[in-house]
């Protein structure tokens, strides 16, 4: 292993059974690289980490205020939520303020991530709806923006739709990646997803947390998003989820968002830092151990905070009988 390598080991007994390689970039609001591991210019998709940036036009346009979105609902617009009752209720509330209903959401339906909620629905014979989709908050925000712009809700997921163009503009401006150089794909929920190097995504999160050098309109939107997820972190994910627990444990000093295929982006507003970590093979089991270890080594988490997040830092591996047979261990030095 080269000194620049960063790995997470999965052990079974005395043997390292699997290894996940990770890449990390930590930057300031000018994009200067302050800390790194692996390749800080690793090219990947932002996936759901971009939701906090995509929410900016919902506020800047006046849509959030026009439709009276609450702070909890703004937090839900940034979420990959669990599909619990409060999440479903908040998405339903946003749509109701637009005069829409769940059929207007084009994100598709899946069972809630929250195991107890999903089991209770199965027991009742209740099928999941689009409101249970982890992206229903983001899509409800998109519909709010579309309605405020007077655009059709029918094709709001199309890259050419005014909603998606405004969101591309926001992601481009915050990351410093010109629109014509932005790699676009289709996310799991059907909307465009943005490809960039992880240091550029980290820049977007540094600016999100410390937007003093941005326009007053954008700075205000950034502050409202940060304040919303600080105040209502349970709407960003769920009380059993790392994103929510990180905000709770640090009392909002750090805000972060996971994305599919093993990516995590966070902001440390008081230090004007943006941080992105990517698990190269996309395996989520390595993501939170690596994030916590990096934050610990950067002195961004206290020992007590690391202890409170221990279940995510070095999680155990169990067999089907519930016996502990190994651990997931971050193994790198920054």
| Residue range 149-166, pLDDT digits in tens | 999 999 999 999 999 999
- Low-confidence spans in the chain with pLDDT less than 50: 1-3
Write down the pLDDT at residue 5. Answer: 81
Report pLDDT for 39.
95
Minimal CA–CA distance to 272: which of 215, 222, 212, 229? Answer: 212
pLDDT for 80 equals: 98
Phi, psi of 194 (to 5 degrees): -110, 125
Q: Give the whole-angstrom CA distance, residue 43 versus residue 61.
A: 30
Name 273's Cβ contacts closer than 8 Å, sequence gap at least 6. Answer: 26, 27, 28, 34, 206, 209, 267, 300
pLDDT digits (tens, 9 = 90+) for 177-230: 999 999 999 999 999 999 999 999 999 999 999 999 999 999 999 999 999 999
Domains of the chain: residue spans and CATH: 7-331 (3.40.710)
Residue 313 DSSP SS3: helix
Supply the pLDDT for residue 4: 53
* CA dist., res. 11 & res. 231, Å (int): 38
182/168 Cα distance (integer angstroms): 9
CA atoms in the 13 A half-sphere facing the CB of 146:
25
Task: Judge contact between 221 and 169, C-beta under 8 A.
Answer: no
pTM: 0.96
Task: Assign 44 to helix, strand or coil.
Answer: strand
Residue 332: φ, ψ to 5°: -160, 160
- List the helix and strand counts (H, then E) for the chain: 14, 11
Distances (CA, A) of 287 to 164, 263, 280: 29, 7, 10
């Amino acid at each position: 292993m080269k000194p620049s390598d960063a790995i997470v080991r999965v052990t079974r007994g005395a043997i390292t059974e699997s290894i996940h390689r990770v890449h990390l970039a930590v930057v300031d609001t000018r994009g200067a690289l302050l800390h790194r591991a692996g390749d800080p210019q690793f090219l990947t998709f932002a996936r759901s980490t971009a939701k906090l940036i995509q929410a900016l036009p919902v506020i800047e346009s006046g849509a959030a205020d026009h439709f009276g979105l609450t702070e909890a609902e703004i937090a839900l617009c940034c979420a990959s939520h669990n599909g619990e009752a409060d999440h479903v209720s908040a998405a339903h509330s946003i749509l109701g303020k637009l005069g829409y209903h769940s059929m207007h959401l084009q994100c598709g339906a899946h069972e809630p991530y929250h195991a107890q909620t999903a089991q209770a629905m199965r027991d009742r014979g209740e099928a999941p709806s689009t409101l249970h989709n982890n992206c229903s908050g983001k899509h409800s925000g998109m519909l709010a923006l579309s309605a405020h712009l007077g655009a059709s809700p029918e094709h709001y997921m199309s890259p050419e739709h005014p909603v998606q163009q405004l969101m591309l503009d926001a992601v481009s401006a915050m990351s410093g990646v010109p629109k014509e150089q932005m790699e676009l794909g289709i996310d799991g929920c059907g909307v465009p997803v943005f490809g960039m190097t992880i240091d550029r995504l980290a820049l977007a999160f540094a600016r999100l947390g410390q937007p003093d050098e941005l326009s007053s309109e954008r700075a205000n939107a950034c502050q409202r998003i940060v304040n919303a997820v600080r105040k209502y972190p349970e709407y960003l994910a769920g009380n059993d989820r790392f994103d929510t627990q990180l905000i709770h444990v640090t009392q909002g000093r750090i805000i972060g968002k996971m994305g599919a295929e093993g990516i995590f982006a966070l902001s440390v507003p008081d230090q004007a830092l943006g941080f992105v970590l990517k698990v190269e093979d996309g395996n989520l089991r390595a993501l939170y151990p690596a994030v916590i270890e990096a934050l610990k080594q950067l002195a961004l988490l206290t020992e007590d905070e690391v202890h409170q997040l221990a279940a995510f830092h070095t999680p155990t591996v169990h067999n089907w009988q519930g016996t502990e047979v190994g651990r997931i261990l971050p193994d790198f030095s920054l």
